[in-house]
Amino acid sequence: METGNAVMDYAEIAPMMGRLWSPLAAVTTHSSGRDNVQMAVSISAASIVPDRPRVLVQLYKTNLTHQMVTASRCFALNFLNTTQLDLVGDFGLISGRDKDKLEGIDRVRGKLGSPLLKDCFGYLDCRVISEMDGGDMTCFLADVIDGKTMGEGHPLWWRDARRRMSAEWLERWEKKQSFEIEISRATMDKIDPIS
């Protein structure tokens, strides 16, 4: 990729970019009488005011959860415990269009109707207040209206999950990522400009 007159060496920025990923969180939502879940692309705190917490969450437009969050204007972030590696595959490698990914998962309803996973490290129940088109994904800005830390220690991070995944899961993940990258290459510049 050209940046000005020089060509960027991606290996030079990879260590920094890798540290920008958030803990693994299952994004749950409820819309039109059904629940769904996916693994978050990226999450970031978006407020320095302690009594006005906000988050930024990126969801790919191809995911069912994206459509449901757009319709319901709410979601919950369920941060996974280090013992919940199996949920990464269950929530991240199949589509909610094909099956109910939350079937058999112990959960309760949040204040806005999104499912809250009972056994996770903690959750944030969120109301969407704005969104930004990223071409291949949407960045949702949301007020945190409720939340709780239920675990001790730390949540599951992607770098730790990858080290513990089976070879079969890693192969499936890489295949899915390659497909998503190709879609992103074709759509990430198709952004609705700010008027």
- Give the per-residue pLDDT at 158: 83
Q: Which residue has the tokens 């890489």?
A: 174
Cα 122 to Cα 50: distance, rounded to the nearest angstrom: 18
Find the mean pLDDT for residues 132-149. 95
Does the structure show a pLDDT above 90 at 67?
Answer: yes
**CA-based angle 61:67:68, to the nearest 5?**
140
Q: What is the pLDDT of residue 194?
A: 63
User: Would you state the pLDDT for residue 101?
Assistant: 92
The pLDDT value given to residue 11: 86
Amino acid identity, residue 11? A
pLDDT interval class at 117 (50, 70, 90): very high
Q: Contact at 8 Å (CB) between 116 and 50?
A: no
Residue 143 CB neighbour total at 10 angstroms: 17
Average pLDDT, the chain: 89
pLDDT of 6 > 70? The answer is no
**Lowest mean pLDDT: which of 36-40, 85-89, 127-131, 139-143?**
85-89
Out of 40-54, 139-153, 172-186, least confident range: 172-186
Question: Which pTM does this prediction carry?
Answer: 0.85
The residue-averaged pLDDT of 52-66 equals: 94
155 — pLDDT class (breaks 50, 70, 90)? very high
Q: Which residue has the higher pLDDT, 184 or 75?
A: 75
The Cα–Cα gap between 184 and 107 comes to: 32
* 14-34 pLDDT per residue, tens: 888 777 777 899 999 999 999
